[in-house]
């Protein structure tokens, strides 16, 4: 039937009942409750409706609203009833600022106390329904300044970042929690291991907690979360989300009745965020997780959409590269969608993977998950591949040089043009992305376009492309933008359409057990696809004054040539035979940036010294074979 980690007749009976569709019975004191492992995974042998539910409060170590009192962090906890009779279980935690405002998941579920007893009746997402019956506790923690926690949100500053650490410390006996009556509550049922999971802001909180190196946090599963908040609102000196976006997000996640109270905290952030220049300042240090990866002891299962235009893919890539440099145990999923949860992209496989991941890291089940390929990657709609690592082993940075054109677009070749040549265009702060990309063979005054010949074999890029330009301008400041385009008709995931690549259906499926007020049933989804003549593969921008550093802006000297090097967003993409690779060079890029340059500079690019460096799987040999 199964292999119990500790034998117990009641548990084996519960397995039989579960197999027959009956609810597991209560575990008696003499039955020595234990998890049950069958087919390599924990089984749902514990109840859900009878699970213990608590709301607890911890005095934090910080004072985000500067009222002279330490903030109180609130969290809701659910654990199997058998934990009152000796069962030791790990914790799965989703720390979030969204539980009472934006809410969670594709169906925007909020926390809900329906009967007013101070305990949750409706728990967002499926983690409680699925994992509590399998011998886990689940914590949904309210980030500082949100829902039942006091203080004010600080948009990924230390107070936000340390919110979940308070609960990890409590679970391991290093902090004190109380219930609503003020009674001290201990976690004597905890087995010492915890995992964190969450999408977007929740994912950033998981990583923020992990990089503190807090003892007891064993694994994290960040889903499409920001890792460098500078990169969320800036890119290489250019403001991509301005008008005090950091303060605006803090306002969004604050309970409406506390927004006026928290206005001074938001005003202080708005005054310090550097919207006026876009440079990297000390404001961003505490909002940076990549540089703190060496502190980590937790393993990582990382997920990101390659076409996420909210939390862009450079967030996952920089974090992933740092994990590799520090030999952190890790796995990666990359999908073709935008800002979409894997539960709504590849549901059954994701739940199975998550189950096995938590079983291995939190319950110590020897299921072989770490012996499997490190990377799952979606190549086309619902077509998944596995790889040993990412970037794909065998990739090599390959220089592709910009070539002069005669009447239309310039070319792309593996060698520079034989003679010096230039291309010139004028910055347009209003030029649309479509105007930049469409009709690449037509000369336009506000861009330069370069096209390869039709490819004779597939060309696979995997990693982070960079653009290297040698250019001058007739103004002391300008921006640069670059777009990598696949010109060729194909059916692709429609990640820029409504749903960011998915369609929400009316049918449901269920994941876990139910109570009278909470089920684990969610609307199913399907991929949204579309056929188009081109695909924007990736893009990048920079402020020319930040050519030496994102920390310091240095004005250009009019007419003087400089080297400008900046990355595009990471990608894993296959250009098909017959398609053409396009590189578009612009100045201001308003659909990527809220800060178009105002100088309308005239820009001259020295083509012999300008190129795009592509991370080609197979390197120059593969590029030659494709006809570059």
> What amino acid positions are annotated as catalytic residues?
200, 308, 339
Q: How far is the C-alpha of 181 from the C-alpha of 86, rounded, in Å?
A: 25
- Sequence-ordered list of residues with C-beta below 8 angstroms from that of 474, at least 6 positions apart, any chain: 558, 559, 601, 602
Q: How far is the C-alpha of 104 from the C-alpha of 112, rounded, in Å?
A: 12
Q: How far is the C-alpha of 587 from the C-alpha of 230, rounded, in Å?
A: 21
Sheet of strand 41-42: strand arrangement: 3-4, 36-38, 41-42
Is cis: bond before 391, omega within 30 of 0?
Answer: yes
Q: How far is the C-alpha of 311 from the C-alpha of 289, rounded, in Å?
A: 15
Q: Are 463 and 375 in contact (CB under 8 A)?
A: no
**Largest Cα–Cα separation, the chain:** 87
Q: How far is the C-alpha of 443 from the C-alpha of 447, rounded, in Å?
A: 8
CA distances in angstroms from 114 to 104, 111, 120, 218, 349, listed in the order given: 18, 10, 7, 34, 33
**Residue for token digits 């578009």?**
584
The number of beta carbons lying within 10 Å of the beta carbon of residue 393 is 10
Quick one: three-class SS letters along 271-315?
Answer: HHCCCCCCCCCHHHHHHECHHHHHHCCCEEEEEEECCCCCCCCHH
Q: What length is written for the chain?
A: 628
- Distance from chain centroid for Cα 141: 19
CA nearest to 218, candidates 192, 190, 186, 187 = 192
Virtual torsion, Cα 335, 340, 345, 350, nearest 10 deg: 80
Burial of 418 (0-12, 13-18, 19+ CB in 10 A): exposed
CA nearest to 11, candidates 39, 41, 32, 40 = 32
CA nearest to 124, candidates 158, 96, 152 = 96
Query: What backbone torsions phi and psi does residue 301 show, to the nearest 5 degrees?
Result: -110, 110
Per-residue tokens: 281: 């300042």
Question: Which helix (DSSP H) or strand (DSSP E) does residue 320 occupy?
Answer: helix 314-325
CA distances in angstroms from 536 to 392, 492, 574, listed in the order given: 21, 11, 13
Q: Are 558 and 399 in contact (CB under 8 A)?
A: no
Strand ranges in 156-240 using DSSP code E only, listed in sequence order:
177-178, 184-185, 190-199, 217-223, 234-235, 238-239
Q: How far is the C-alpha of 446 from the C-alpha of 603, rounded, in Å?
A: 10
């Amino acid at each position: 039937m199964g292999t119990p980690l500790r034998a117990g007749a009641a548990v084996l009976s519960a397995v039989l009942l579960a197999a027959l569709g009956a609810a597991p019975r209560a575990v008696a004191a003499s039955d020595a409750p234990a998890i049950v492992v069958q087919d390599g995974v924990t089984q749902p042998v514990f109840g859900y409706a009878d699970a213990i539910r608590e709301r607890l409060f911890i005095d934090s170590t910080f004072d985000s609203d500067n009222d002279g009192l330490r903030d109180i962090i609130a969290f809701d906890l659910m654990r199997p009833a058998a934990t009152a009779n000796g069962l030791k279980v790990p914790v799965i935690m989703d720390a979030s600022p969204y539980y009472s405002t934006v809410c969670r998941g594709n169906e925007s579920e909020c926390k809900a106390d329906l009967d007013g007893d101070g305990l949750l009746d409706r728990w967002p997402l499926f983690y409680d329904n699925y994992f509590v019956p399998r011998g886990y506790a689940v914590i949904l923690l309210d980030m500082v300044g949100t829902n039942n926690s006091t203080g004010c949100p600080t948009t990924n500053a230390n107070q936000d970042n340390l919110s979940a650490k308070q609960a990890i410390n409590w679970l391991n006996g290093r902090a004190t929690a109380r219930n609503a009556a003020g009674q001290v509550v201990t976690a004597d049922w905890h087995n010492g291991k915890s995992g964190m999971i969450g999408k977007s802001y929740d994912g950033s909180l998981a990583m923020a907690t992990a990089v503190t190196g807090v003892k007891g946090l064993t694994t994290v599963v960040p889903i499409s979360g920001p890792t460098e908040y500078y990169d969320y609102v800036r890119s290489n000196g250019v403001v991509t989300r301005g008008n005090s976006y950091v303060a605006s997000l803090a306002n969004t996640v604050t309970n409406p009745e506390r927004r006026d109270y928290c206005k001074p905290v938001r005003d202080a952030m708005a005054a310090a965020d550097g919207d006026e220049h876009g440079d990297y300042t000390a404001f961003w240090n505490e909002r940076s997780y990549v540089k703190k990866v060496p502190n980590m002891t937790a393993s990582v299962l990382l997920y990101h959409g390659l076409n996420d235009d909210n939390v862009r893919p450079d967030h996952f890539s920089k974090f992933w590269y740092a994990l590799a440099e520090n030999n952190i145990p890790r796995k990666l999923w990359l999908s073709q969608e935008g800002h979409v949860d894997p539960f709504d992209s590849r549901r059954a496989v994701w739940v199975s993977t998550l189950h096995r991941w938590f079983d291995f890291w939190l319950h110590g089940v020897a299921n072989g998950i770490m012996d499997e390929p490190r990377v799952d990657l979606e190549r086309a709609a619902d077509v998944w591949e596995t790889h040993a690592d990412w970037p794909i082993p065998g990739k090599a940075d390959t220089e592709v040089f910009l070539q002069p054109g005669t009447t239309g677009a310039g070319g792309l070749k593996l060698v520079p043009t034989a003679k010096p040549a230039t291309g010139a265009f004028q910055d347009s702060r209003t030029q649309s992305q479509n105007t930049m990309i469409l009709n690449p063979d037509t000369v336009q005054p506000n861009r330069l376009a370069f096209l390869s010949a039709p490819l004779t074999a597939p060309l696979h890029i995997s990693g982070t492309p960079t653009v290297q330009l040698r250019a001058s301008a007739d103004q002391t400041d300008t921006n640069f933008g670059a777009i990598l385009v696949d010109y060729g008709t194909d059916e692709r995931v429609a990640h820029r359409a409504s749903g960011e690549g998915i369609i929400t259906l009316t049918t449901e499926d269920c994941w876990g057990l139910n109570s009278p007020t909470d089920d684990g049933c969610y609307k199913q989804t399907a991929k949204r696809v579309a056929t188009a003549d081109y695909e924007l593969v990736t893009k990048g921008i920079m402020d020319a004054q930040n050519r030496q550093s994102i920390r310091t802006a240095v004005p250009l000297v009019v007419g003087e040539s400089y080297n400008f090097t900046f990355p595009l967003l990471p990608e894993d993409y296959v250009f098909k035979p017959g398609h053409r690779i396009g590189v578009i060079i612009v100045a201001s890029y308003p659909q990527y940036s809220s800060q178009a340059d105002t100088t309308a500079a005239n820009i001259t690019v020295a083509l012999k010294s300008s190129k795009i460096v592509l991370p080609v799987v197979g390197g120059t040999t593969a590029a030659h074979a494709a006809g570059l």
